[in-house]
Structure 1
Amino acid sequence: MRQRLHWLAMHGVVRTVANVAARRGDPQARMVADPAVRADPVPFYTELRPRGPMIRTRVGYITVDHAVAHELLRSDDFRVIVLGANLPAPVRWLERQTRDDLLHPLRPPSLLAVEPPEHTRYRKTVSSVFTSRAVAALRDRVEDSAADLLDGLAAGPGVVDIVDRYCSQLPVAIIGDILGVPEADRPRILEFGELAAPSLDVGLSWPQYRRVQQGLAGFNLWLSAHLRHLREHPGDDLMSQLIEASEDGTHLDETELQGVAGLVLAAGFETTVNLLGNGIRLLLNSPDQLARLAEDPTLWPNAVEEILRLESPVQLSARLALRDTEVAGTSVKAGEMVVIYLAAANCDPAVFDDPHRFDVGRPNSGKHLAFSGGRHFCLGAALARAEGEVGLRRFFTHFPDVQLAGLGNRRDTRVLRGWAELPVSLGSAASPGRPNRHFAETV
């Protein structure tokens, strides 16, 4: 009963109100309740753009404007959202009375849900471990892991779900190695991630909510045991260093350490799975761009930026006004929420020419906001870029004849955008001296 009441407060009421408001055309309600928006958000935010930089909704504002999004992500007049904090007062009281004590990515002490001074202290601890030098040293490991996975694919069936067999396996191998996750536990991490991925969304159905809770509970239990094991048997992995850093100088308590470590672990692979899947689908749909990459491999880093821009793994963020302020000529009152539509900002024609065209050579593709910005800029951005570049380049080099073998299925999530399944026909693996098909077509 307690769990059912929490679902009602956190999702059921929102779901009901959104269904009614969506029928009346409220844009924020449509983001929650309209399956067409989730399936293909481009027509939706293209429709919103002429309405200006700040679009009024029933419960706040939405912006699809790149300049406004850039400003909001860095503004000290706004803070990140804490799960349930912007619910109406009676519903918010019920949510607080019935919530469990599981760690959640949108509740403190998660980095996604706190502001300075706590955010500064947590981020400093993680940054002391995830240094630029440490991430740069991981590139060889990414190369080796990708090669091993692709060799395994070549020895298997010709048609595979590339998300299951490659896009998810590469990030979990890397994050597993650097954070001390035993090989035997990695399938469980993938399972927990799949179950908990919709936890960033609001308006979940009761079955979705139950699956999310199952994933969060399993992950919480596993993480506690994993951190306890690393305390007793520290290794040279970065998670062991994170535990040591929390005990020497910054003094994170146990809950704070679990919150920080859990977010690093989960965020270290979930969004990268989406980056790889989105990239494979985009490139298979764009043989001309794949041919450009075969002819000029130096374009691969820029291609990853373009994939992040055009198919942002994280579609949305939100901020809550701390005080009465003004944004793009619009008065925003303290406590009002602004949804920052990152995916729409990344296709703003004021910044990106012909914004829906996929162009691996686009000169300003790196101006995207896929990694957020300001103090909440993604700590794992450099690692995600490396995994995206190496993972995609090696995949298409290894399987030059790969083709789509079906439509695939998108993840049933709104904040995160990626593929749950993407069947491909691998074709023959490349052999030494064999010309790449895409390159051959360009000469």
Structure 2
Amino acid sequence: MLTRTWTRWLLMHGFLRTYLRWSARRGEPLGNLALYPDSLLGSSPYIEEIRQQGRIPRISGVHITADYEICRLILRDRRFGVVSPNHPALPKPIRWMLAKTDPGLPNIGEPPSMLVTDPPDHTRYRRMVGHAFGPKAIAALEERVAEVADDLIDRLDSNPRPDLISDFSAQMPVTIIAEILGLPEDMHPTLLKWGDSGAPLLERGLAWTTYRDAVKDLAEVKQYFDQQLDRLEAEPRDDVLSMLVANDELTRREQVANAALLLDAGFLTTVNMLGNGIALLTNHPDQLELLSARPELWPNAVEEILRYDGPVRMTGRVANCDVDIDGQHIRSGSLVLLSLAGANHDPAVFPDPQQFEVTRDNAAEHLAFSSGIHGCLGARLARLEGAIALRALFERYPDLRLDGPPIPHPLRNLHAYRSMPAKVSAG
């Protein structure tokens, strides 16, 4: 089993990791973007170097863009597909080896996760659960989200030096998504552990130990959801997991994979968004003062947080046919890297993009949640949680300040903080 896991890591991460290190040593933007977290920031010199080479230049054999309009176009263009280990553009021997080493685990970065599948499978998966995250369903959660936020903040009253990631930002979304999925409260610590270990699987070029540990936890995830779905087949309830079980169009593997995706996607992005937002707002007291005077701006503040420092910095697409964009010919099977952070800092769309402004008129036009058919299913929920939780936190603790620099998560593409010690005192 270990040999198969190592072989799969080598094919999906090891060779790429070696190439990216070589590229970085040569000073090429691609290697630096992939290996160094700060290089992926929308304001980094590497992003600016890409802009200077054109709207969608070819660098190190890969097309890459930080242009907002081109990123949005490609995300919404059916001529491009998601990057997947079974994509026809991969050489047949590689696809054969990946198929032979497939452990059948619910890896959110591999099929049959809807995150990395294209129509018609993607359409089928999303249709099964889409209404649970639609406007009416999310609006109905507003009161419950406020209750959870208030409860978590009440707990901070007895902890004057909390960690705002583990004690607040993580607890808020995991509570809500667990209730949507019908998972018990005593599972919250385990769900957070699985989310933390599974998050790196959304990246490429992972170290062997990181990949090995993540796959080990995936075996636990599979066992747990298999058992949950077995129970729901016998005794269905009114929750999203029961919807998956009730639909005979899905195989058990598809059910488990997308249950795991809904869990991780349901709180990982929001944890990161809340943490990033707290860091931004405590560093911009003038913007906090504005929000205190005009609390109706909180929803727009969340959009500006997502634009300025979104939780996902880059994504990729593969051309399904020959495509011409802005004078560049992109051959079928070519990889195109999309800098979402760069697009969200494109000065042609967002004037003075390095300024954090909660009053920014077009903040909501950001691409932090992607766009098109793969736009984040939980975007409405994340926005609701962000506006309610951040407002409640800063209204209760208007003098909240961080107790030293927050500790970043050791990820590259997913921007997040692992720890954020703070000092709180009620106003």
What's the counterpart of residue 411 of structure 2? Answer: 413
In 2, the alpha carbon distance for the partners of 1:99 and 1:417 equals 28
Asked whether the 8 Å contact 2:42–2:343 carries over to 1, the reply is no
SS at structure 1 position matched to 2:380: helix
Asked whether the 8 Å contact 1:167–1:276 carries over to 2, the reply is yes
What's the counterpart of residue 142 of structure 1? Answer: 145
Asked whether the 8 Å contact 2:198–2:218 carries over to 1, the reply is yes
1:127 to 123, 127, 130: 130
In 2, the alpha carbon distance for the partners of 1:300 and 1:121 equals 35
Q: 1:323 to 1:87 in 2, by over 3 A?
A: closer
Query: Does residue 1:112 correspond to 2:115, yes or no?
Result: yes
In 1, the alpha carbon distance for the partners of 2:92 and 2:408 equals 35
What amino acid is aligned across from residue 203 of structure 2 in structure 1?
D
TM-score (ref. length: structure 2): 0.95
What's the counterpart of residue 395 of structure 2? Answer: 397
1:221 to 214, 220, 223: 223
Asked whether the 8 Å contact 1:195–1:214 carries over to 2, the reply is no
What amino acid is aligned across from residue 384 of structure 2 in structure 1?
A
Q: 1:34 to 1:315 in 2, by over 3 A?
A: closer
In 2, the alpha carbon distance for the partners of 1:168 and 1:34 equals 25
What's the counterpart of residue 208 of structure 2? Answer: 206
Asked whether the 8 Å contact 1:10–1:84 carries over to 2, the reply is no
In 2, the alpha carbon distance for the partners of 1:52 and 1:218 equals 46
TM-score (ref. length: structure 1): 0.91
In 2, the alpha carbon distance for the partners of 1:396 and 1:330 equals 47
In 2, the alpha carbon distance for the partners of 1:241 and 1:383 equals 19
In 2, the alpha carbon distance for the partners of 1:194 and 1:40 equals 24
In 1, the alpha carbon distance for the partners of 2:45 and 2:161 equals 32
SS at structure 1 position matched to 2:349: coil
In 2, the alpha carbon distance for the partners of 1:386 and 1:35 equals 28
1:215 CA drift (Å): 2.8
1:353 CA drift (Å): 0.5
1:203 CA drift (Å): 1.0
What amino acid is aligned across from residue 209 of structure 2 in structure 1?
P
Of 121-130 and 79-88, deviating more is 79-88
What amino acid is aligned across from residue 122 of structure 1 in structure 2?
Y
1:36 CA drift (Å): 4.7
1:279 CA drift (Å): 0.3
Query: Does residue 1:255 correspond to 2:253, yes or no?
Result: yes
The count of corresponding residues between Structure 1 and Structure 2 is 424
What amino acid is aligned across from residue 180 of structure 1 in structure 2?
G
What amino acid is aligned across from residue 97 of structure 1 in structure 2?
K
SS at structure 1 position matched to 2:175: helix
Which structure 2 segments of 5+ residues have no match?
A: none
Asked whether the 8 Å contact 2:37–2:411 carries over to 1, the reply is no
What's the counterpart of residue 105 of structure 2? Answer: 102
What's the counterpart of residue 362 of structure 1? Answer: 360
In 1, the alpha carbon distance for the partners of 2:190 and 2:175 equals 12
What's the counterpart of residue 429 of structure 1? Answer: 426
Asked whether the 8 Å contact 1:38–1:413 carries over to 2, the reply is no
Residue correspondence of structure 1 range 62-211 to structure 2 within 5 A? 62-83=64-85, 85=87, 90-156=93-159, 158-211=160-213
What amino acid is aligned across from residue 123 of structure 1 in structure 2?
R
In 1, the alpha carbon distance for the partners of 2:168 and 2:153 equals 8
Asked whether the 8 Å contact 1:129–1:241 carries over to 2, the reply is no
SS at structure 1 position matched to 2:44: helix
Asked whether the 8 Å contact 1:411–1:417 carries over to 2, the reply is yes
SS at structure 2 position matched to 1:339: strand
Of 366-375 and 413-422, deviating more is 413-422
Residue correspondence of structure 1 range 319-330 to structure 2 within 5 A? 319-330=317-328
What's the counterpart of residue 314 of structure 1? Answer: 312
In 2, the alpha carbon distance for the partners of 1:143 and 1:233 equals 30
In 2, the alpha carbon distance for the partners of 1:53 and 1:33 equals 22
1:388 to 369, 386, 389: 386
1:38 CA drift (Å): 5.6
Residue correspondence of structure 1 range 233-382 to structure 2 within 5 A? 233-244=235-246, 246-247=247-248, 251-382=249-380
In 2, the alpha carbon distance for the partners of 1:210 and 1:186 equals 23
In 1, the alpha carbon distance for the partners of 2:35 and 2:158 equals 44
What amino acid is aligned across from residue 346 of structure 2 in structure 1?
D
In 2, the alpha carbon distance for the partners of 1:144 and 1:396 equals 16
In 2, the alpha carbon distance for the partners of 1:94 and 1:53 equals 36
1:239 CA drift (Å): 2.8
SS at structure 2 position matched to 1:317: strand
1:37 CA drift (Å): 2.3
In 2, the alpha carbon distance for the partners of 1:39 and 1:351 equals 17
Of 299-308 and 74-83, deviating more is 74-83
Asked whether the 8 Å contact 1:178–1:237 carries over to 2, the reply is yes
Which structure 1 segments of 5+ residues have no match?
A: 431-443
1:412 CA drift (Å): 1.5
What amino acid is aligned across from residue 187 of structure 2 in structure 1?
D
In 1, the alpha carbon distance for the partners of 2:421 and 2:42 equals 20
Q: What fraction of aligned residue pairs are identical, expressed as a percent?
A: 42
1:95 CA drift (Å): 3.6
What amino acid is aligned across from residue 360 of structure 1 in structure 2?
V
1:58 CA drift (Å): 2.3
SS at structure 2 position matched to 1:221: helix
What amino acid is aligned across from residue 67 of structure 1 in structure 2?
E
